[in-house]
Amino acid sequence: MGRAYLSLGSNLDAEAHLRDAVAALRARFGEVQVSRAYRFPAVGFAGGDFLNAAAAIDSDLDPFALNDWLHALEDAHGRDRSGPRYGDRTLDIDIVFYDALVLDGPGHLRLPRDELRHAFVLKPLAEIAPGFVDPVSGCRLDAMWRAHPDHDVGFAPVAI
């Protein structure tokens, strides 16, 4: 059993897709700790704003099997992987941390996730796991968020 910290995002019917994703996580893993959702501009392409949130689960799956399970969940919500890497998404769920593992694997699995540098990943994670220590930098998530250049931007929470 491992503790996984996930980043969830959507910019297509976002509220519905995020609600459904959290429900699927609860159905499979039981108790799920979920941050508030926040609206962030698209990164890497010109597109509509995303709603992003974070979730923490206790998983009986190893990181590779969990990554596969999450990809299947994305696919079940209409995720289109045929287009450019950066584009509109019905559902995007990434494992940011799995315990304190540092690894690379198939299916774009990288722990910790590089996107941690972006506010859309870091802010929601720091909300639910402020004391978690990034195994690469040795820094707590709350300290990383306080030092982030977007820390003082007023990202408004959105109900999902």
List, by residue number, the catalytic residues. 79, 89, 92, 94
Give the integer Cα–Cα distance in Å for 45 and 32: 31
Question: Which one, of 37, 12, 4, 14, lies nearest residue 109 by Cα?
Answer: 4
Give, as one character, the DSSP assignment of residue 155.
Answer: -
Per the CB < 8 A criterion, the answer to whether 37 and 127 are in contact is no
